[in-house]
Structure 1
Amino acid sequence: MSPPPEQLYETEYEVGQDNIQAMGMDIHNPVFWVSALLILAFVVGTLLVPDQAKEVFDGAKAWSINNFDWLFLAAGNIFVIFCLVLIFLPVGSIRLGGDDATPEFSLMSWFAMLFAAGMGIGLMFWSVAEPVGYYTNWFGTPLGVEPNTPEAEINAMGATMYHWGLHPWAIYAVVGLSLAFFCYNKGLPLTIRSAFYPLVQDKSWGWFGNVIDVIAVLATIFGLATSLGFGAQQAAGGLEYLFGIPSGINTQIAIIVGVTSVAVISVIRGLDGGVKVLSNINMGLALLLLLFVFLTASTMTILKGFLLTSLSYAEVLVPMSKWWGREDGSFMHDWTVFYWAWWIAWSPFVGMFIARVSRGRTVRQFITAVLLVPVAVTIVWMTVFGGTGVEQVKAGVGELAGGIGDYTLSMFQMLDNLPLASVTSFLAICLVLVFFITSSDSGSLVIDSITAGGKLDAPVPQRIFWAVMEGVIAAVLLFVGGASALSALQAASITVGLPFTLVLLAMCVTLYMGLRHEQKYVRGK
């Protein structure tokens, strides 16, 4: 029998009651052990048969994307609409942590952390490559238009914004807001399982909740290790392009070791002295690079491009949200559905980190900052970098005019045609590395919280363990299995996106239930 509505969130469960303290660790049983064993089994199996593992997980990824394209796209649309509606509903005035809660971080530091954890690293690699690749048909053309035409330019900028705009941030917002609300307003642990309490109540603390949290841990650490491994390859390629340093395995491993070492130091320093500082450095470097390109490229063209990008985004928003009657089915599966599966697979990590730093904000402030502000910033970023890349293609200037060879070098190839190319390209590499460090650091805090049963202050050795594990997994897979092992890991992460789509849809329901309960029975409105 269900409890009365006013008593819905009363539970005898205490944060950490299933935890085991040993060797300076405070770990949740069985989430920590099951996650660790599955990670070990996956890594060993992938190392033994990397090509076969890649084939199996690539097949699973393709099956998920090709058969459930409708679910990914429909769910993405639901998440956007749901978040926008919450802004205007009365529940938007609810403050995370209660009416007396105050924000832990300044507005600028808060936003810097949101952006750095969310997708800062991706914007470095894809802001030039995607618009240029779509415009020239190197990656396929969205909505089936003729490449290298004015229509292709409109669709290229619009499709790039579509992939990095409202939909991915809405995915993060649903998870982040759900976890923040149930943790800070209802006193539940900061883990994915807490979002299901309104539906299943105390079953959240049993096997059902354990399964949800284990999947979240696997998706997070595999996604981070994949990004770190591929990122090392990309950063090494940039160093070779700029300075002639061989981009072989030794350089890649050295980059992973360096990134992991700094991430460990940052983890030890904690949120305030670690992630916040790095995120502020990120935003400062990114703003510096943005202003340089804006001032040294065709400034008037870029200014006109802001309007072009915004209108292009609005123009393709509805056509690209459909999964039926598309002339670009291959493009939709290879890019849009792939992206949606990737964002959803990353949502436990990014959403939980956003929740961790958002106490004291109202629901309306939260959604505005997580959903609308990043879209505005991304329009500016994509216009400056992507628009400049497309203009170089149209003018037949530089290497981009010949098409996309190695997408990881697209940013450097664009900068190569502007003044002080060596300086700005080195700045771009530094920015990439700092973004990687921030992701590793924030990811370690997230995994640490889940495997500690939702505790916000788990022991430092535990955080160090997960930060090191991310680097070790990436380095070992890269060294022994190479690109095949990393691709298998990435495919496994994306496959997790399918079941987690259902998890996020359920979160929309439970979050609204929780907000209405807070409005009616706690605030009496």
Structure 2
Amino acid sequence: MSDQTSATGIPEPEGASDIIETDFEIGQHNLEGQLGPFGFDIHNPVFLISSLSIVAFVLYALVAPEQAASFFGWLRPALTSTFDWFFMSAANVFVVFCLFLIVSPWGSVRLGGKEASPDYSYAGWFAMLFAAGMGIGLMFFGVLEPVYHMAISSPLGVPSPFAADGSIIPENVDAAKEMGLAATIYHWGLHPWAIYAVVALALALFSFNKGLPLSIRSAFYPIFGERVWGWTGHVIDTLAVFATLFGLATSLGLGAQQANAGLEHIYGIPNTITVQVILIIGITSIALVSVLRGLDGGVKVLSEINMLIAAVLLLFVLFAGPTVAILGDFVTGLGAYGADLVGLSNPIGRTDDAYRQGWTAFYWAWWISWSPFVGMFIARVSRGRTVREFITCVLLIPSLVCVLWMAVFGGVAIDQVLSDPATSAVKANVIDSYSPELSLFAMLEGLPLSSITSTIGIVLVIVFFVTSSDSGSLVIDTITAGGKVDAPVPQRVFWCTFEGLVAIVLLIGGGLGSLQAMVISTGLPFTIVLLLMCVAIFKGLQTEER
């Protein structure tokens, strides 16, 4: 390898400059291609391959729903029981890699160049990355998960506080409560945000600093060179589209189920697949409007609105519930998370299969499948930050907000369950009958103004739903258009529509299990992509001026 450096700042073989220039023109052509039928930007094979595959999948699930449901029902446990060690080991790598970059000399590298300044304030930046990253998930699992891990899943073998007859075992309460919070925070803390940070940093570095298109393939230039403009890059981007689409479909399905459960709980609207399909259609239509308005006019505005609503609901629950105990749960949960982090991260010699395979492996696959979407979205709004500032903020700030959210919503729910298990609506819906979509509304039922707060909860789920759909459509659109950030409007409409269709057919063809199965099946190969991405980031940072 010579000292010669390409226009991207990445060392290249001697005598390769002419080839680099030619292939860079191919890469730029991907940004400037001509429009095809219906106004689609189909010169890039990624669009044709991914769109036709998704259409075929939708048709299969609609034509043979029973066969699809049977297949999806087999797929999820088969993958999680086989590859749980792989998902957990990879997630550990991402956390260690991010922590290394924070303390490394490359932490001073600025995304966009030494003279770049941030495009958004901290408040706007945090609102967008947080709303896109975990909104619906926090609403769905904020109450459910701490209670479930405390009472049922027994992470690391910590026993349940409930005896077989439903009575409370006092000596088990404190340890089970701490583990319920710690095991939940583990799924919403450093590990998922490290996954997002790796993808976002790679995209920002190679787009803003190296001048490459804003596409997943660009991050692999240090490894594959000019082959990223050929079929190697097409395969990488196509995997990213599949992972993103099914990750989004899972979140949209969860949102539809929870919104429907809330509507039944408050207004008596039947909780059926038909109503959920209508919800997805209606909310996808709203998302289309936001997609057409673009990043600043649509996504940014909605992100700030749902952050405001979420903050209001959080503060209400904090002060309407046992405030002192909740603040204590925040400290206790954070401490227990730190104490048990190594044990929860260890994939070897564990006996808690229900927690490790049923929850952790699924979550890591879900976060990884979301990572192209959230990573690209974070990258687009993070120009001007240093690597150290970027990773610190993306890792720590959202993690602390997630801890607070779980401590408030989960802490109140745990208090309701333990203080009066005989009449607790949370216990009835989480521990006794396991109706996860009702857990939030069951907790709010035990607080004042439950009808109002439950309605606010439904609105918040819907707004998070819209934010995820519109920002996800913009990201998939960018990937399939070869890195364009202003791809044709008909193409944006196509992807936003098909996100809703995929969520609908997966709900019809097996419900929540089918959604989770497709997340894991697409997250598995994309895990390998992310591991290679860490290598590419390190190589890319070595060529940057600090």
For the criterion TM > 0.5, the same-fold answer is yes
2:513 is equivalent to residue 500 of structure 1? no
What letter corresponds to residue 353 of structure 2 in structure 1? Answer: G
Q: TM-score, normalised by structure 1?
A: 0.94
Which residue is 2:115 aligned to?
100
- CA–CA distance in 1 between the matches of 2:340 and 2:522? 28
The residue correspondences of 1:289-308 to structure 2 (distance < 5 A) are 289-308=313-332
* Residue type of the alignment partner of 1:356: R
Deviating more after overlay: 468-477 vs 381-390: 468-477
Match of 1:44 in 2: 59
Distance, in Å, in 1 between the alignment partners of 2:76 and 2:274 is: 30
What is the distance in 1 between the residues matched to 2:481 and 2:81? Answer: 36
Moved more, 253-262 or 150-159: 253-262
Distance in 2, Cα, partners of 1:5 & 1:424: 62
> Is the partner of 2:35 in helix, strand or coil?
strand
> Are 2:127 and 2:304, in contact at CA under 8 Å, matched by a contact in 1?
yes
Which residue of the partner structure matches residue 517 of structure 2?
A: 491
Q: Which residue of 2 aligns with 1:254?
A: 278
Structure 2 matches for 1:56-205, cutoff 5 A?
A: 56-137=71-152, 140-148=153-161, 149=172, 150-205=174-229
Answering whether residue 466 of structure 2 is matched by residue 463 of structure 1, we say no
Question: What is the CA-CA distance between 1:146 and the residue it aligns to?
Answer: 1.3
- The answer (yes or no) to whether the contact 2:150–2:177 under 8 Å persists in 1 is yes
Matched, 1:356 2:380: yes
Change over 3 Å in CA distance of 1:66–1:474 after alignment to 2 = closer
Q: Distance in 1 between matches of 2:82 and 2:67?
A: 22
Partner of residue 402, structure 1? 428
Q: Which one of 451, 459, 465 corresponds to residue 480 of structure 2?
A: 451
Contact 1:135 1:153 in 2 (8 A): yes
Alignment of 1:325-344 (within 5 A): 325-344=349-368
Matches within 5 A, 1:206-221: 206-221=230-245
Q: CA deviation at 1:489?
A: 4.6
d(CA) in 1 for partners of 2:44 and 2:439? 46
* C-alpha distance after superposition, 1:305-331 (max 9, x if no partner): 121111111121010111112131332
Cα distance between partner residues in 1 of 2:142 and 2:535: 34
Q: Which amino acid aligns with 2:89?
A: A
Taking every aligned residue pair, what percent have the same amino acid on both sides?
55
Aligned CA distance change for structure 1 residues 330 and 229 (closer, same or farther; 3 Å): closer
Letter in 2 for 1:456: V
* TM superposition shift of 1:276: 0.5
Deviations 1:480-518 (Å, cap 9, x if unpaired)? xx2516643541231121211111111111101101111
SS in 1 for 2:117: coil
- What's the offset of the Cα at 1:423? 0.5
1:240 aligns with 2:253: no
8 Å Cα contact 1:47-1:477 kept in structure 2: no
Secondary structure of 1:285's counterpart equals helix
Aligned to 2:466: 437
CA–CA separation in structure 2 for the residues paired with 1:393 and 1:486: 25
CA spacing shift, 1:486–1:301, aligned 2, 3 Å? closer
Give the conservation status (yes or no) of the 8 Å contact 1:54–1:491: no
Measured after TM superposition, the shift of residue 380 of structure 1 is 1.0
Letter paired with 2:66: D
Between the two proteins, the alignment pairs up a number of residues equal to 514
Query: Retained in 2: the 8 A contact 1:46–1:485?
Result: no
Change (3 A) 1:79 1:456: same
Structure 1 residues 292 and 43: alpha-carbon distance in aligned structure 2, compared to 1, 3 A threshold: same
Aligned position for 2:370:
346
CA distance in 2 between counterparts of 1:57 and 1:191 reads 30
Q: Does residue 417 of the first structure (1) align with residue 446 of the second (2)?
A: yes
Q: What is aligned with 1:6?
A: 5
Aligned Cα root-mean-square deviation (Å): 1.8
State how far apart, in whole Å, the 2-side matches of 1:5 and 1:69 are: 43
Asked whether the equivalents of residues 429 and 436 of structure 2 are also in contact (C-alpha less than 8 Å), the reply is: no
Residue of structure 2 equivalent to 1:17: 29
Q: Distance in 1 between matches of 2:449 and 2:530?
A: 46
Give the Cα separation in 2 of the matches to 1:486 and 1:385: 23
- Name the structure 2 match of 1:390: 414
Deviation at 1:46, TM superposition (A): 1.7
Q: CA offset at residue 35 of structure 1? A: 0.7
Secondary structure of residue in 1 paired with 2:447: coil
Distance of 1:52 and 1:475 partners within structure 2: 16
- 1:195 deviation in Å? 1.1
Between 1:5-14 and 1:27-36, the stretch displaced more is 5-14
Matched AA of 2:475: V
Query: Are the aligned partners of 1:28 and 1:453 in contact in 2 as well (CA < 8 Å)?
Result: no
| Change in 2 beyond 3 A, CA 1:164/1:145 | same
Q: C-alpha displacement at 1:57, in angstroms?
A: 4.1
Tell me the distance in 2 between the aligned counterparts of 1:201 and 1:61.
Answer: 36
Contact 1:165 1:375 in 2 (8 A): yes
Which residue is 2:165 aligned to? Answer: none
TM-superposed deviation, 1:66: 2.0
Which residue number corresponds to residue 323 of structure 1? 347
Q: Distance in 1 between matches of 2:75 and 2:109?
A: 41
CA contact (8 A) 2:142 2:410 kept: yes
Q: Are the equivalent residues in 2 in contact too, given 1:173–1:367 (CA < 8 A)?
A: yes
SS of 1:100's equivalent in the other structure is coil
Code of the residue aligned with 1:411 in structure 2: it is L
CA separation in 2, counterparts of 1:445 and 1:403? Answer: 37
TM-score by length of structure 2 reads: 0.90
Q: Report the counterpart of residue 231 of structure 1 in structure 2.
A: 255
Code of the aligned partner of 1:513 = K
Q: 2:5 is paired with a residue of what secondary structure?
A: helix
Query: Deviation at 1:20?
Result: 3.8
State the Cα deviation string for residues 237-273 of structure 1 (Å, max 9, x = none): 1100111122234422331122112111111111111
